[in-house]
Structure 1
Amino acid sequence: MNDRTEKLNEYVQQKGEVKLKELEKIFPDVSSMTLRRDLAQLEKQGLILRVRSGAVSVDSIKGSKEVRYNLRAEENIEAKEIIAQKAVELIEQGRSLYLDSGSTIMCLADILPNEHLSILTSGPNIGIEVAKKTNPSIMLIGGQLNRNNISVSGLGAIEFVKLVNIDIAFMATSGFSLEAGLTSGDYNECELKKYVIQKAKKVVVLMDSSKINKNMPYTFAGLKEIDVLVTDKKLPDEIMTATIANNVAVY
């Protein structure tokens, strides 16, 4: 780590979260491209997390069950958009859809076709995004709000889901491994996901490649309980073998 990178790291650690424009003012003789390379180096060392507009200190987000939603929403944007474009092809007009919470599902909600669809979601922000379209009907389930990922869950949410039918459930995951399956960082959300998967005729999981071999505390499903896995990159051979063995279609 050179002197400039050390100073840059010290500034990010002190501030917690910085914008690239701030760094350009602090280092006026350094190009934006060089600053981005410095941030990439610090990220590889596990000191910061790069986001679209700058960087955040890893220490500033330690202790959370999951990285705050507004930070995660800026991670792997290109991958999430690729996944959403694939997933939207699986939607048929007139169907009853469940849209899970999370930033990848938000990308799907953004490009959802303006057709007659019945949308049920645990994400208030997902519902608001879908409401920008005129044809889909929208139901928000009730429950306790998790500020980290803008979702509701709990007993009230499960009781609501019992009353509805679901053709296709589009689910998000915080982690996946062959040993632990699909995992979540919150117990109540995990229980809601389990129930939605039981109710749905078809289960589609949206997962970017950064989630592979990352385990969160609670497992909500294994490969045998889902029908489709949508991702941004080719899966490792051992995972592809497991999806074939469990009759999971991969897009």
Structure 2
Amino acid sequence: MYAAERRALLASRLSEHGRVSVVDAADELGVSGETIRRDLDVLQRHGLARRVHGGAVARSVAQVVELGLTDREAQHAPEKEAIAHAALAFLPDADGWAAFDAGTSTAALVDALPADAAFDAVTHGTSIASSLARHEGVSLLLVGGRVRPTTAAAVGADTVAAYGRMRLDVAFLGTNGIALERGLTTPDVEEAAVKRAVVAAARRVVVLADSSKIDTEYAMSFAPIDEIDVLVTDRGVAREQVSRLERAGVEVVVA
């Protein structure tokens, strides 16, 4: 079967069933999972699919509503835990400053901090701050603003201005989507503004994102791909995705 025929069949499956599993499609068509992932990437670029962990869903049923913290904490929990432990390698020295974005992936990193962690930390996430405050060796600065209930993140002009006055050694960022063309994206304009300010303040940007977020885009872009130093993701990432990101200058760590 030619690639065009295979992709047409996958598009038909998406239209009929709303979703396609990489494993099931590979078995049915007698090709590798990586081949199916490439096909689904092509369909996504043509607006026919949205890539998710393990396959793709039709654009008509793709998630457009931003999930709250409780729902997001339950998604890909084992992957986030593995990502968090791998990201510990990028913590600053005792005299260094680290920013922790609001979100469930960064929350997993804070939960994974060793009891003797010692560095200066800043965050605009209220739940993140509560967890960091339990570490006696961590000197914590909480950035204020209007708190969005959906993410428990402070947002607004004051939040952006506060980060604009900082110079940080490393920023640990979460994202809803990451793609070569549009970089890091998120659904909310105010959260995008804060994330943009965090990126601008940091000498090193470390993104924590499970593999379902790769090649996925949302409305608001907050950082181009060339402003990302490291992406820590899980084993669900395709080799081709890793290669493309590395060619763009991103160090990819697979947890």
Query: One fold, TM greater than 0.5?
Result: yes
Partner of 1:179: 181
Deviation at 1:63, TM superposition (A): 9.4
TM-aligned CA deviation for residue 153 of structure 1:
1.3
Corresponding residue for 2:73? 73
Runs of 4+, deviation exceeding 6 Å: none
* 1:2-13 matched pairs, under 5 angstroms: none
The correspondence of residues 117-132 of structure 1 with structure 2, limited to 5 A, is: 117-132=119-134
State the Cα deviation string for residues 152-206 of structure 1 (Å, max 9, x = none).
1111001111222210000000112233321111101111111211110000000
Amino acid of the structure 2 residue aligned with 1:106: A
Alignment of 1:9-158 (within 5 A): 65-94=65-94, 95-113=96-114, 114-158=116-160
Deviation at 1:250, TM superposition (A): 0.8
Residues 133, 140 of structure 2: 8 Å contact kept: yes
Residues 80, 104 of structure 1: 8 Å contact kept: yes
Question: What SS is found at the alignment partner of 2:90?
Answer: coil
The answer to whether the Cα contact below 8 Å between 2:85 and 2:109 also exists between their aligned partners in 1 is yes
8 A Cα contact 2:147 2:153, kept in partner: yes
Secondary structure of 2:93's counterpart equals coil
Greater shift in the superposed pair: 112-121 or 133-142: 112-121
Contact persistence 1:98–1:119 (CA under 8 A): yes
Task: Give the counterpart of 1:207 among 206, 209, 218.
Answer: 209
Aligned length in residues: 190
Q: Please state how far the C-alpha of 1:241 moved relative to its aligned partner.
A: 2.9
Equivalent position of 1:57 in the other structure:
none
Q: Describe the superposition over 1:15-46 as per-residue Cα deviations: whole angstroms up to 9, x where unpaired.
A: xxxxxxxxxxxxxxxxxxxxxxxxxxxxxxxx
2:92–2:98: 8 Å Cα contact kept in structure 1? no
Residue 241 of structure 2, aligned match among 220, 228, 239: 239
**Which amino acid in 1 is paired with 2:67?**
V
After TM superposition, the structure 1 stretch with the greater mean CA deviation from structure 2, 229-238 or 210-219, is 229-238
Q: CA RMSD in A?
A: 1.8
Q: Contact conserved, 1:109 with 1:130, CA < 8 A, in 2?
A: yes
Q: Distance in 2 between matches of 1:179 and 1:236?
A: 18
The share of aligned pairs that are identical, in percent, is: 31
Change (3 A) 1:245 1:146: same
TM-score, normalisation: structure 2:
0.70
Q: For 2:128 and 2:138, how far apart are their aligned partners in 1?
A: 13
In 2, the alpha carbon distance for the partners of 1:218 and 1:203 equals 18
Q: CA deviation at 1:212?
A: 2.0
- Whole-Å Cα distance in 2 between the matches of residues 142 and 92 of structure 1? 23
Equivalent-residue separation in structure 1 for 2:83 and 2:181 (angstroms): 24
Structure 2 CA distance for aligned equivalents of residues 86 and 239 of structure 1: 19
Task: Determine the C-alpha separation between the residues in 2 that align with 1:166 and 1:67.
Answer: 29
Give the secondary structure class of the aligned counterpart of 1:210. helix
Matched residues in 1 for 2:122 and 2:77: separation? 24
**1:65·1:186 contact (CA, 8 Å) conserved in 2?**
no
Structure 2: tracts of 5 or more residues without a match = 1-61
**Rounded Cα–Cα distance in structure 1 between residues aligned with 2:157 and 2:228:** 23
2:164 aligned residue: 162
